[in-house]
Chains A and B, each alone.
Chain A
Amino acid sequence: MLYPEIVIAGCGNPLFADDGFGPAVIEEMEKLSLPDNVMVVDAGLGGPHFIFTLLDPEVTKKLVIVDIADYGAEPGSITKLRVEDLPPGAYRDAHSWDLTEPLQRIKDRVDVTVIGCQPAKVTAPEFEIGLSDEVQGAIPKAIRVILETIGVDYGTTINLQEEGRQRGTAETCSSKDR
């Protein structure tokens, strides 16, 4: 199976400033040692067509989506949302299959949680790389909330840090390492 029991998907585009929050959280989470049944994945803009429509509800029981969400709070505030709380059109498949929402289709069979962070600036359609200080500062809190959601103790993950990932492959595009 491509996706295990618990999937954590960071959505958003690092080229639109704070929209890169999801991938940035995933990049941090990859440094943690997580149980085998958890997969963290940088979904970029491809969440609907690469993940949400490919989950097997027989295997995957929990989906955590990490993204920015404009809910009128202070920039950098973290909130937990259910699919029902999302405005229509959020996570509509970019391919617009039949204009239904892929999350609505799976929400009764997979437990879906959205961890949203209030952005300070989203520059679309202009490109800009780099998170604002407020949103950058919200990453540790978001990780705590995610781990709490999936029932993993933060302490056990950070003590077992792996060298695992190659430096310079950072997917948030901001790495200057060669």
Chain B
Amino acid sequence: MSKVVEISPTTRHEGHSKLTLKVNDQGIIETGNWCSITPVRGVEKLAVGKTPEQVPKIASRVCGICPIAHNLAGTEAMEASIKCEIPRDALLLRHILQLANRCHSIALHDILILPDFYIPGTETKINPFTAEEPVRTVAKRIQRLREISQTIGQIAGGDCIHPRNTRIGGMYRNVSEQAKTKMYDLAKEGLVLSHAQSEFMIAVIRNYHKRDFVDVGGMKVPMPKDLGFHDQGYLATHSFYGSSSLDECPSWDIRRFKEARPWDWYMGEMEISLEEPRYPIGGTTKMGTKVNPQMEACTGIPMYDGQPVEVGPRARLVTYKNFDEKGTQGQNIAREMEYQDCFYEMIDCLDELNTSGKVVADYIPDGDGSLGWASNEAPRGTDVHIARVKDWKVQYFSMLVPTTWNFATCSKALTGAPWQLAEVIMRGYDPCVSCATHMIVVDEANKVVAQKLIQ
């Protein structure tokens, strides 16, 4: 007889989401639903009628963690619509900014997942805030990596949180030779630290997944060897940066994309029949509570070729670097492997950057209403922005953010795992839920049927 258990809210990630799980007598998940419960926002509607300069800035405000990815994807979607090609040096600066953001994000994710893992060879779970070794050294290294990334981002982007150097047509300013040298020095320091950090992380991740049992809130939970496996496929548009051209990037074709309604996808109304007060941070939802993921979910279900797909570090590594590890373990390892690659790529970009080169396009058209799209490989995966600009006014704007893709894919990946490990699977996706909230739903005839979920 199936029972229903719910973990709400989920912790150690950005935004509000919950896991509603139908489990069998052994506590193994039969059907898992992971959904966003952040209320609906209307950034797409707000963008209409604004100038192309304003919209990327609006887009970057939907989330506290990934403003850089949204800013870049938004700006490039506008440029794709007005058909403006930016100078090479501007693109390099954007690329450096984006890589710096990713390095910071990986470091942040390390802190968030570390409490799940053990110090190898012991039964002690890692507390990243402890003053004791060996964790102290790791925590200090993470902080230094974050600092390095943010400083590089600040130099390239003009500001480390909401970059102000980006503009339609390129960048406002190139950097000075001294600034370039400083970024170079920081990237070299970051490279050494990222090597050490990813080695440490990969060791603790492997150690965790090799265990027969792991501890969750005092419960001894068997660790399946296929934790987080799914067969949904992957989507990545570039190994590092992104693209706005189908020639350059045939793997993302807007015509192969469709979005389903949450009520066609998630489970309907149910009653909680399993409660576990020992579950970390306040226990699971009380017995007898009515839940309805269909109506509570705040996101549509994006599909590529009719199926939800995975986006993120593993998708990039599978698509471009023949990576073949599956499941939550593979996902976390892929993220760590991107660490050094980011710094290597950053150093390559800096080598190529000409600080006396121009960074603004000579001619910035007003736009003729063509549809333009840009994908940006954000830390969490492919962030696609779609825009239509005519006479320097935005006529249409839409955002397809990484975690929206992953909601449905991760829900599938939950099947077969002990319910106590559902959050571990979810954290593998490094979810950023608040920006995933997006609600434009089209039906089979591509007509908009719901702009807002009725709650």
Assembled-state Cα–Cα distance A99/B54 (Å): 35
Q: Is B434 an interface residue (CB 8 A)?
A: yes
Q: Which residues 30-64 of A sit at the B interface, judged by CB distance below 8 A?
A: 41-51, 54
Q: Is A88 an interface residue (CB 8 A)?
A: no
B173 (CB) vs chain A CBs: closest residue: A166
Q: Is B164 an interface residue (CB 8 A)?
A: yes
Q: Which residues of A contact B129 (CB under 8 A)?
A: 97-98
Q: Which residues of A contact B39 (CB under 8 A)?
A: 124-125
Question: Among the listed A2, A13, A125, which residue makes an inter-chain contact with B61, where contact means beta carbons less than 8 Å apart?
Answer: A13
B298 (CB) vs chain A CBs: closest residue: A125
Q: Which residues of A contact B167 (CB under 8 A)?
A: 168-169
Q: Is the CB of B108 within 8 A of A2?
A: no
Tell which of A70-78, A113-121, A136-144, A170-178 binds the partner: A170-178
Q: Is the CB of A94 within 8 A of B14?
A: yes
Q: Is the CB of B64 within 8 A of A168?
A: no
Assembled-state Cα–Cα distance A169/B428 (Å): 36
Assembled-state Cα–Cα distance A1/B112 (Å): 24
Q: Is B209 an interface residue (CB 8 A)?
A: no
Q: Which residues 17-69 of B sit at the A interface, judged by CB distance below 8 A?
A: 38-43, 45-46, 51, 53-54, 57-58, 60-65, 67
Q: Is the CB of B150 within 8 A of A2?
A: yes
Q: Is the CB of A43 within 8 A of B161?
A: yes
B108 (CB) vs chain A CBs: closest residue: A49
A100 (CB) vs chain B CBs: closest residue: B129
Question: Among the listed B40, B63, B154, which residue makes an inter-chain contact with A45, where contact means beta carbons less than 8 Å apart?
Answer: B63
Q: Is the CB of B172 within 8 A of A94?
A: no
A45 (CB) vs chain B CBs: closest residue: B64
Q: Is B392 an interface residue (CB 8 A)?
A: yes
Given A173-B54, A176-B51, A178-B51, does the pair A96, B11 have CB atoms closer than 8 Å?
yes
- State which size class the interface on A falls in: 35 or more
Given A94-B64, A94-B65, A176-B54, does the pair A126, B42 have CB atoms closer than 8 Å?
yes
Q: Is the CB of A41 within 8 A of B112?
A: no
Q: Which residues of A contact B65 (CB under 8 A)?
A: 46, 49, 94-95
Assembled-state Cα–Cα distance A43/B115 (Å): 27
Q: Is B281 an interface residue (CB 8 A)?
A: yes
Q: Is the CB of B162 within 8 A of A2?
A: no
Q: Is the CB of B161 within 8 A of A42?
A: yes
Q: Is B111 an interface residue (CB 8 A)?
A: yes
Q: Is B13 an interface residue (CB 8 A)?
A: yes
Q: Which residues of B contact A44 (CB under 8 A)?
A: 60-61, 64, 67, 161-162
Assembled-state Cα–Cα distance A171/B115 (Å): 36
Q: Which residues of A contact B158 (CB under 8 A)?
A: 169
Assembled-state Cα–Cα distance A170/B53 (Å): 10
Question: Among the listed B41, B64, B434, which residue makes an inter-chain contact with A126, where contact means beta carbons less than 8 Å apart?
Answer: B41
Q: Is the CB of B161 within 8 A of A15?
A: no
Q: Is A129 an interface residue (CB 8 A)?
A: yes
Q: Is the CB of A169 within 8 A of B172?
A: yes
Q: Which residues of B contact A49 (CB under 8 A)?
A: 14, 64-65, 108
A50 (CB) vs chain B CBs: closest residue: B161
Q: Give a binary string over B242-254; 1 marks a CB under 8 Å from any A CB, 0 the rest.
A: 0000000000000
Q: Is the CB of B434 within 8 A of A94?
A: yes
A99 (CB) vs chain B CBs: closest residue: B281
B151 (CB) vs chain A CBs: closest residue: A2
Question: Among the listed A45, A127, A165, A175, which residue makes an inter-chain contact with B42, where contact means beta carbons less than 8 Å apart?
Answer: A127
Given A2-B154, A125-B40, A173-B61, does the pair A46, B51 have CB atoms closer than 8 Å?
no
Q: Is B159 an interface residue (CB 8 A)?
A: yes
A173 CB to nearest B CB, Å: 5
Q: Is the CB of A54 within 8 A of B61?
A: no
Q: Is the CB of B150 within 8 A of A50?
A: yes
Assembled-state Cα–Cα distance A168/B45 (Å): 22
Given A50-B150, A176-B54, does the pair A15, B392 have CB atoms closer than 8 Å?
no
Q: Is the CB of A127 within 8 A of B64?
A: no
Q: Is the CB of B54 within 8 A of A175?
A: yes
A13 CB to nearest B CB, Å: 6
Q: Which residues of A contact B151 (CB under 8 A)?
A: 2
A165 (CB) vs chain B CBs: closest residue: B164
Question: Among the listed B46, B67, B162, B165, which residue makes an inter-chain contact with A127, where contact means beta carbons less than 8 Å apart?
Answer: B46
Assembled-state Cα–Cα distance A50/B67 (Å): 11
Q: Is the CB of B162 within 8 A of A42?
A: yes
A136 CB to nearest B CB, Å: 18
Q: Which 10 A-B residue pairings sit nearest by Cβ, starting from the closest?
A: A45-B64, A125-B39, A46-B64, A169-B164, A127-B46, A46-B161, A173-B57, A15-B61, A173-B58, A2-B151
Would you give 10 A-B contacts (Cβ < 8 Å), ordered by A? A41-B160, A42-B159, A44-B64, A95-B65, A96-B12, A127-B45, A165-B164, A169-B164, A173-B54, A174-B54
